[in-house]
Amino acid sequence: MSFNLVIPQLPNFLESLGGARYKGLIIGVFALSALGSRPFSGKLIDVIGRKPIVLFGIIVTIVVTFGYNLVYSVPFFLALRFMHGLSAGFTPTGTTAMAADIVPANKRGEAMGIVGMAGNIGMSIGPALGSEIGVTFGNSTMFVSGGFIACLTLIPLFWLKETRESTQRFNLRMLKLSWREILEPAVFLQGVVMLLSVITFGALLTLVPDYCEVFGLKKNGYFFTIVTVSSITMRILSGKLSDKYGREIVLWVGMIFLVAANLMMIYAGSISDLFIAAGLFGLSTGTNSPTLFAWTIDNCKSEQIGRGISTLFIFLEAGIILGSVIPAEIYANKAENLSQAFVFTLVCGLLSLGLVSGALYRARRG
């Protein structure tokens, strides 16, 4: 909630600093920083423990969010966005690993569904609340509110015990990474499936506003509300099903939802069609995300869980970046190209479906 609370007002805030032409870097700098920090957080989570990494991310979030009120220049602002991205690379990875440690294997999918649902709720509440506070009371109050919400995360963290049994004291040599410590080979398949499947999400973030305008809808937030609601509805159910019937079969169903959503985006003839696509995409996300995280943890030894989770996050963020850039280039600000942009995401969805189908076939063969 704290990450997303400040997002709606940041473009206007940056414009007030004279940085209107740098608006694209608001998300870009944040995402690249988060992406770059994942390998380090993944290694440190497995070596020094989960809780110190979560705490580090929270402290950075608190300092940065309050720090926005001290910004006086565009470079200062972009530096803070870079630091904010670091916190996003540490805290979610650590909390996911902690959940994986304390939950039995036969409830792992359900647990990942709960963790994902909590994130969805925060991501949906944050922008609406931040926009309301920013417009009504000003950006300064909004930043203080975001910092206060970040401070509240310290309360449950106080009661959480370290879940990694064997830990070491931090030293700078731990920041030296080998290739294997950047990407965990044991979960490479899960990472590629994640990358291909979230390309659609990156495209939706970039192109939905323009697609909605084609049908005369200015308030494109309704599209993402439908995505969020359908995703939250699906998460716990899909997690339980993957615990019972297996990751591959549930993930295969999720990929069918993804392909159907892309087909609806390609052939959409009305705003109703877009909303149906939003519902299908939400069902896909609610199915695929917890199942992929559970499947990743299934394939990791206890000393590799942090690295495995960080690997999956690396592929996730890379997929969102690719999905934001390539379909936008295909679209080229021409309405007639919108369907072609989603042909690209459909191909990616079909490739992910093919990989999951292969994994399902191998699982059924034993």
Q: Token pair 């991501």 is at which residue?
A: 123
In sequence order, the 6+-apart residues with CB closer than 8 A to the CB of 347 are: none
Q: What is the pLDDT of residues 209-244, one digit of tens each?
A: 788 888 888 766 688 888 988 999 898 899 999 999
CA distance 235 to 96: 15
Per-residue three-class SS string for 179-243: HHHHCCHHHHHHHHHHHHHHHHHHHHHHHHHHHHHHCCCCCCHHHHHHHHHHHHHHHHHHHHHHH
| The pLDDT of residue 24 | 65
Please report, rounded to a whole number, the percentage of residues in the chain having pLDDT higher than 70: 99
Q: Which of 81, 75, 77 is nearest to 34 (CA)?
A: 81
The torsion region of residue 169 among left (phi > 0), alpha (psi -120 to 50) and beta comes to: beta
> Domain 1-161, what architecture?
Up-down Bundle (1.20)
CA distance 20 to 352: 38
Specify the pTM: 0.86
CA distance 351 to 357: 10
Q: What is the pLDDT of residues 265-318, one digit of tens each?
A: 999 999 999 999 999 999 999 999 999 999 999 999 888 898 999 999 999 989
Same fold, 1-161 and 179-366: yes
Q: What is the pLDDT of residues 200-217, one digit of tens each?
A: 998 888 888 788 888 888
Q: Which helix (H) or strand (E) holds 67?
A: helix 50-67
Question: Are the CB atoms for 97 and 293 separated by under 8 Å?
Answer: no
In sequence order, the 6+-apart residues with CB closer than 8 A to the CB of 352 are: 192, 193, 196, 197, 255, 258
DSSP state of 165: S
Average pLDDT, the chain: 90
Give whole-number Cα distances, 228 to 159, 283, 313, 316, 343, in Å. Answer: 30, 9, 19, 18, 23
Provide the terminal-to-terminal Cα distance of the chain, rounded to the nearest Å. Answer: 42
pLDDT of the chain, 366 residues: tens digit per residue = 998 888 878 878 888 898 877 776 777 788 888 888 988 998 999 999 999 999 999 999 999 999 999 999 999 999 999 999 888 889 988 999 999 999 999 999 999 999 988 988 888 888 878 888 988 999 999 999 999 999 999 999 989 899 988 888 888 888 888 877 788 899 999 999 999 999 999 888 888 878 888 888 876 668 888 898 899 989 889 999 999 999 999 999 999 999 999 999 999 999 999 999 999 999 999 999 999 999 999 999 888 898 999 999 999 989 988 888 899 889 888 988 999 999 999 999 999 999 999 999 998 887
The residue extents of the domains of the chain are 1-161, 179-366
Would you state the structure tokens that stand for residue 245, as one six-digit string?
Answer: 């019937």
Residue 273: count other Cβ atoms within 10 Å of its Cβ: 15
Q: What is the rounded radius of gyration, in angstroms, for the C-alpha atoms of the chain?
A: 20
CATH for the stretch 179-366: 1.20.1250.20
Would you state the structure tokens that stand for residue 189, as one six-digit string?
Answer: 């398949």
